[in-house]
Chains A and B, each alone.
Chain A
Amino acid sequence: MNTENLIALLVAAPLLGAVVLLCGGRRLDRVGHWIGTLLSALSFVIGLVLFTDMLGKGAEDRSLHQHLFSWIPVEGFQADVAFQLDQLSMTFVLLISGVGTLIHLYSIGYMEHDERRRRFFGYLNLFLAAMLLLVLADNYLLLYVGWEGVGLASYLLIGFWQHKPSAATAAKKAFLVNRVGDMGLSIAIMLMFTTFGTFAFGPVLEASEGTSEGKLTAIGLMLLLAACGKSAQVPLQSWLGDAMEGPTPVSALIHAATMVTAGVYLIVRSGAIFNGAPDAQLAVTVVGAVTLLFGAIVGCAKDDIKKALAGSTMSQIGYMILAAGLGPIGYVFAIMHLVTHGFFKAGLFLGAGSVMHGMNDEVDMRKYGGLRKYMPVTFVTFGLGYLAIIGFPGLSGFFSKDKIIEAAFAKGGTEGWILGSVALLGAAITAYYMTRVMLLTFFGEERWRHRATASPEQPSAEPAAETRGQHSEPHPHESPRSMTIPMILLAVGSVFAGGFFSIGDRFTHWLEPVTHHDHGDSPLSAATVTGATMVVLVVGVTLAWFQYGRRPVPAVAPRGSLLTRAARRDLLQDDFNHVVLVRGGEHLTRSLVYVDHTLVDGVVNGTAASVGGLSGRLRKLQNGYARSYAVSMFGGAAVLIVATLLMRAV
């Protein structure tokens, strides 16, 4: 069988699901979720078939190519719908369709009581199809189609509960912020076309070796802007926290398998461009390092379990972007961390969803506590995801994050030390905030019980008042099996994936033909870095335990320090955007309106007024007196005669 022809099916299956589910109408309500899940699983199975086929080939000829049709064939401008499946795409395909299918399965239980479940699965399928198109495209233009498709699907899913104004706003915010990044990608594609005359991956990446650094830097920075938008990196990070308004499976999908990973994919895929533009690479590492700390700090302060996890995603993607900015030393580790992160972050989000499911959709962690007795499966799977993300030895995060920290040190020079230290610090904060989430949710006293002796319910400013259930105490219970099975599978992935990839540098060898790999020389030995990581891990966990494990946690958040309060407001990102962009934009438009009123209108009105005034004077000449006309005639005739005479004299 010719396996190339299967590539299009990878995209077609979920796309078909989206079309059928969204156009099928109510008669599909009863089976819609199964159609969506099965088509997603079909995509995963095709991916597995292609994967085994790929494993059977030599490392160099594993890249498959399928030309579907010419989209815009114009002289000198060839836009094809063609797919390319190499080791990098394959990794993403398996992650997207595999984790995506598990999330589909989970959603069957999670969305059971939602009457628009069929539409939800249609959107999920659309999301998968767009993301698969993005990673399978063999040129930047087709990638852009998938890129926009992902943006659209995320908009639809974040705003899925659009009857809530906050969800509708969050969806709009995500879409608008993403537009800024999309603009970067479209400019990058235009630059590529003017520079290389094409935008197919192969020719562009080959030609970029001999291109001037300035052009490559420009393209690289635009690609970075694009990645910032989709991957929620500073300065375009503000949409990610609000995106938690969507149903929890959507958060899991956005954070683990699709959407935010697109930026990392874009940078790793365009590695050849960044290799030739050290300035752009530096910008990428800086963005990654800043976001890494930014997300981690935000994650420390949030009491909303999903928002804490969102901060964590931002931080972990920061790690990936940082690694991708390191060049060939880091590409492999960026992707490896992406895959392991896909497992444990999906697991964590599904766990958070399961907790919310059992707690009447309460999201405030201060109103959880002691849930481990009531939700044993969720506790264990969430706990394994927790151990994986903080980098507990032997679990996935340990291998992938450790490698990134090593690679950051291996960058060499002062930069290497700074980036490495930031990555280490990030690891400490990660340990801190994840331990905090864990302790607040599953340990400690049961703060969700209403106690007669407790202090009277204080009026709190939490927005979830409608679902808090003032009168009915929540009855925490384990979630149905369709929700726990995906969580268990993801927990297995969180535990073993990293080790599996690292044995004999398997993952490195697998991706090397596409991304190339360079060991670099680290000023520190691997053992030193691992040791340091362990130390900061212990420090972070201990700090969190001292603060949240040893003493009771107040059910209403204390006022906190200046930093805490700023971090609760997402480090003032929205205030910054409001002051700089919204107000700035208002001022700009106001001054433009002023210029329009005074200058442009002034010229127009001035012309009109002078013509009017002149004609008012001229009108007086037409007074009806025949003799006055006669004088004009004589005057005119005299002028003509004099002029004629003068002309003749000359």
Chain B
Amino acid sequence: MNPVNYLYLAALLFAIGASGVLIRRNAIVVFMCIELMLNACNLAFVAFSRLHGNLDGQIIAFFTMVVAAAEVVVGLAIIVSLFRSRHSASVDDASLMKL
């Protein structure tokens, strides 16, 4: 199978993620969309790795996964504390620093 198709898939996934970030209000969904974009990038990296025949893309994909894992921990914690204080998970409700 032609690796270029994976790139199309990655672009599609990234577009879905991006539009999700822009359109959806629920913080959890936005968060998931960000993860989707990250993974689209990972897919693209791996596809490039395959295309060029070296391992650089795969190594970067590992880094991305590590960072994403850390980010999920911090991000989810923020969302939970936001929900606790505002009783809502909408990103638009959190438009001010103060309550």
A: residues with CB less than 8 A from B are 623-627, 630-631, 634
B92 near A634: Cβ-Cβ < 8 Å: no
Partner of A624, one of B21, B25, B96: B96
The answer on a CB contact under 8 Å between A627 and B22 is: yes
Whether B22 pairs with A634 at a CB distance below 8 angstroms is yes
Contacts A631-B22, A634-B18; A626 near B91 (Cβ below 8 A): yes
- Residue among B21, B92, B97 making CB contact with A625, cutoff 8 Å: B92
Residues of B within 8 A of A630 (CB): 21-22
**A627–B91 CA distance with the chains assembled, in angstroms:** 8
Residues of A within 8 A of B9 (CB): none
Determine whether B2 belongs to the interface, using a CB cutoff of 8 Å to chain A: no
Closest chain B CB from A390 CB (angstroms): 100
What are 6 pairs between A and B in contact, CB < 8 Å? A624-B94, A624-B95, A624-B97, A625-B95, A627-B30, A634-B18
Say yes or no: B96 contacts A627, CB within 8 Å.
no
> Nearest CB to that of A626 among chain B residues?
B91
Q: Could you say which of A623, A626, A634 has the most chain B C-beta atoms within 10 Å of its C-beta? A: A626
Q: How far is the CB of A26 from chain B (nearest CB, A)?
A: 79
Measured CA separation A623–B97 after assembly (Å): 11
A645 to chain B: closest CB distance in Å?
A: 15
B63-95: which have CB < 8 Å to A? Answer: 91-92, 94-95
Q: How large is the interface on B (under 10, 10 to 19, 20 to 34, 35 or more residues)?
A: 10 to 19
Which residues of chain B have C-beta atoms less than 8 A from A625's C-beta? 91-92, 95
Contact yes or no, B94 A626, CB < 8 A: yes
CA distance A630 to B18 in the complex (A): 9
Closest residue of B by beta carbon distance from A623: B95
Closest to B21 in A: A630
Q: Could you tell me the distance in whole angstroms from the C-beta of B94 to the nearest C-beta in chain A?
A: 7
Q: How far is the CB of A587 from chain B (nearest CB, A)?
A: 59
Listed residue (A625, A627, A631, A634) with the most chain B CB atoms within 10 angstroms of its CB: A627
Smallest beta-carbon distance A450→chain B, Å: 96
Q: How far is the CA of A625 from the CA of B21 in the complex (A)?
A: 12
B25 neighbours in A (Cβ, 8 Å)? 627
* Distance between B7 CB and nearest chain A CB, rounded to angstroms: 15
CB distance from B97 to the nearest CB of A (A): 8
Given A626-B30, A627-B30: 18 more A-B contacts, CB < 8 Å: A624-B94, A624-B95, A624-B97, A625-B91, A625-B92, A626-B91, A626-B92, A626-B94, A626-B95, A627-B21, A627-B22, A627-B25, A627-B91, A627-B92, A630-B22, A631-B22, A634-B18, A634-B22
Question: Bound state CA distance, A634 and B25, in angstroms?
Answer: 17
Rounded to whole angstroms, the CA-CA distance of A158 and B72 in the bound complex is 94
**Contacting residues, chain A, for B95 (C-beta < 8 A):** 623-626
Measured between alpha carbons, how far is A450 from B97 in the docked complex, in Å?
A: 99
Contact string against A for B residues 3-41, beta-carbon threshold 8 Å, 1 for contact and 0 otherwise: 000000000000000100110010000100000000000
A183 to B96, CA, bound (A): 69
Q: How far is the CA of A630 from the CA of B37 in the complex (A)?
A: 13
A contact residues around B97 at 8 Å (CB): 624
What chain B residues lie within 8 Å of A623 (beta carbons)?
95
**Measured between alpha carbons, how far is A631 from B94 in the docked complex, in Å?**
17
Q: How far is the CA of A624 from the CA of B98 in the complex (A)?
A: 11
Measured between beta carbons, the chain A residues less than 8 angstroms from B92 are: 625-627
Shortest distance between the CB of A637 and any CB in chain B (Å) = 10
Question: In whole angstroms, what is the CA distance A311 to B95 when docked?
Answer: 89
- Cα(A392)–Cα(B95), bound, Å: 108
Bound: A228/B30 CA distance, A: 91
